[in-house]
Chain A
Amino acid sequence: MIYRIVHRTTYKYKHPVSVGTHVACLKPRALPHHQLAQSELHIQPRPATRTERVDFFGNRLCFFTIQEPHRELVIEARSEVIMEGKATPWPQLALPWEEAARSVPNDHSPAGLEAYQFEFESPRIRVRPEFASYALQSFTPRRPMPEALLDLTARIHKDFCFDSKATSVRTPIEEVFRKRRGVCQDFAHLQIACLRSLNLAARYVSGYLRTYPPPGQPRLVGADASHAWVSAYCPGIGWLDVDPTNNLVPTNGHVTLAWGRDYGDVSPLRGLILGGGAHKLHVGVDMEPIDS
Chain B
Amino acid sequence: MTVDLTQTPLRYGDAYDELSADGVTPRPHWAHLMESLQAIGPEELGRRWARAERRIRENGITYNIYGDPLGASRAWRIDIVPLLIPADEWRYIEAGIIQRAQLLNLLLEDLYGAQVLVAHGHFPAALLYANPAFLRPLVGVRVPAHSYLHMLAVDLARSPDGQWWVLADRTQAPSGSGYALENRTIVSDVLPDLFRTSNVLRLAPFFRAQREALTNLAQRDNPRIVLLTPGPLNETYFEHSYIARYLGFTLVQGADLTVRKRRVYLKTVDGLEKVDVILRRVDDSFCDPLELRGDSLLGVPGLVDAIVAGNVKVANALGSGLIETAAIMPFLPGLCTQLLGEKLKLPSVATWWCGQKYALDWVLDHLDSVVVKPAFPSRNMEPVFGAEIPPAEKGKFAEQLRSRPHEYVAQEQVALSTAPVWDNGCLNSRSVVLRTYVLNTGSRWIAIPGGLVRVAEAEGSVVSMQRGGHSKDAWVLWDSPVDTFSMLRPRNEPVELHRVSRVVPSRVADNAFWLGRYVERAENIARISRAMIPRVRRAEEAELVCLIRLHRCLESRHSKLPKPKHRRPTSVDLEQEMTSLLTDAKRPDSLACTLAEVSRTGGNIRERLSGDMMFLIGQLRDSIQIGHGTPFLEYPAMLTDCLELLSAFSGMERENINRGLGWLFMTTGRRLERAIYLTRQLREITTPLTEQDWSLLECLLEVADSSMTYRTRYYTTLQPLAVLDVLLADETNPRSLDFQLSHLADLYQKLPRHVPVDLEAMRAALALLRSFDLRKLKYPLPGAAAEHGSDGLARLASFLQGLEGLLPSWSNNLSSRYFSHARTLPITIGQ
Contact = CB atoms under 8 A, between A and B. Distances in A.
Interface residues of A, number: 43
B261 A11 contact: no
A87 interface: no
A129 interface: yes
A272 B826 contact: yes
A19 B262 CA distance: 13
A269 B294 CA distance: 13
Given A108-B121, A129-B403, A53 B259 contact: no
Given A121-B130, A272-B289, A169 B261 contact: no
Interface in B403-440: 403-404, 406
Contacts of A281: 829-830
Interface stretch (B14-22, B183-191, B301-309, B615-623): B301-309
A217 interface: no
Interface residues of B, number: 39
A196 to B, nearest CB: 11
Contacts of B125: 105, 108, 113, 116-117
A56 interface: yes
A22 B305 CA distance: 11
A271 B139 contact: no
Given A55-B137, A267-B830, A272-B829, A49 B119 contact: no
A117 B829 contact: no
Contacts of B824: 18, 274-275
Contacts of B592: none
A48 B261 contact: yes
Nearest to A54: B140
Nearest 3 CB-CB pairings of A with B: A56-B136, A272-B826, A272-B301
B301 A21 contact: yes
A109 to B, nearest CB: 9
B443 interface: no
B830 A271 contact: yes
19 contacts: A18-B821, A23-B291, A48-B260, A49-B261, A51-B309, A56-B136, A63-B305, A67-B260, A105-B126, A108-B125, A116-B126, A119-B129, A123-B132, A269-B829, A269-B830, A271-B290, A272-B301, A272-B826, A281-B829
B529 interface: no
Given A18-B824, A275-B824, 11 more contacts: A23-B290, A23-B291, A48-B261, A55-B137, A65-B261, A117-B128, A270-B290, A270-B830, A271-B290, A272-B826, A274-B824
A160 B137 CA distance: 34
B831 interface: yes
Interface of A: 11, 18-19, 21-23, 48-49, 51, 53, 55-57, 63, 65, 67, 105, 108, 110, 113, 116-117, 119-121, 123, 127, 129, 169, 264-265, 267-276, 279, 281
A135 to B, nearest CB: 14
A120 B129 contact: yes
Given A48-B261, A55-B136, A272 B403 contact: no
B262 A270 contact: no
Interface string B115-134: 10011110001101110100
Nearest to A270: B830
B130 to A, nearest CB: 4
Contacts of B830: 22, 267-271, 281
Contacts of B120: 108
A274 B826 contact: yes
A273 B258 CA distance: 12
A22 B827 CA distance: 11
A123 B134 CA distance: 12
Given A49-B261, A279-B829, A113 B119 contact: yes
Interface in B101-119: 115, 118-119
Interface of B: 115, 118-121, 125-126, 128-130, 132, 136-137, 139, 258-262, 289-291, 294, 301-302, 305, 308-309, 403-404, 406, 821, 824, 826-831
Contacts of A51: 262, 305, 309
Contacts of B290: 21, 23, 270-272
Contacts of B406: 120
A281 B829 CA distance: 10
Nearest to A271: B829
Contacts of B118: 108, 113
Given A21-B301, A117-B129, A273 B829 contact: yes
A169 B831 contact: yes
Contacts, number: 101
A21 B259 contact: yes
Interface centre among A274, A275, A281 (most CB of B within 10 A): A274
B305 A272 contact: no
Contacts of A11: 829
A71 to B, nearest CB: 14
Contacts of A119: 129
A271 B302 CA distance: 10
A177 to B, nearest CB: 17
B7 to A, nearest CB: 54
Nearest to A121: B130
Nearest to A278: B827
A274 B821 contact: yes
A49 B262 contact: yes
B73 to A, nearest CB: 31
B142 to A, nearest CB: 14
A138 B831 CA distance: 32
A11 B404 CA distance: 42
Contact of B308 (A18, A53, A268): A53
A49 B259 CA distance: 11
A167 to B, nearest CB: 15
B536 to A, nearest CB: 45
A276 B830 CA distance: 14
Contact of B827 (A23, A55, A123, A272): A272
A276 B261 CA distance: 21
Nearest to A67: B260
B89 to A, nearest CB: 42
Contact of A270 (B119, B130, B294, B404): B294
A169 B406 CA distance: 29
A244 to B, nearest CB: 23
A173 B298 CA distance: 28
Contacts of A274: 821, 824, 826-827
A108 B301 CA distance: 36
A68 to B, nearest CB: 12
Contact of A267 (B115, B302, B821, B831): B831
Contacts of A21: 259, 290, 301-302, 826
Contacts of A105: 125-126
A108 B124 CA distance: 10
Nearest to B309: A51
Contacts of A108: 118-121, 125
Interface centre among B128, B261, B289, B826 (most CB of A within 10 A): B826
Contacts of B828: 270-272
Nearest to B293: A123
A53 B290 CA distance: 14
Contacts of B309: 51
Contacts of B258: 19
Nearest to A9: B830
B266 to A, nearest CB: 15
Nearest to A122: B132
Contacts of B831: 169, 264, 267, 270
A56 B141 CA distance: 11
A25 to B, nearest CB: 10
Contacts of B121: 108
A240 B826 CA distance: 40
Contacts of A22: 830
Contacts of B132: 123
Contacts of B305: 51, 53, 63
Contacts of B119: 108, 110, 113
Nearest to B130: A120
Contact of A120 (B126, B136, B302): B126
B260 A116 contact: no
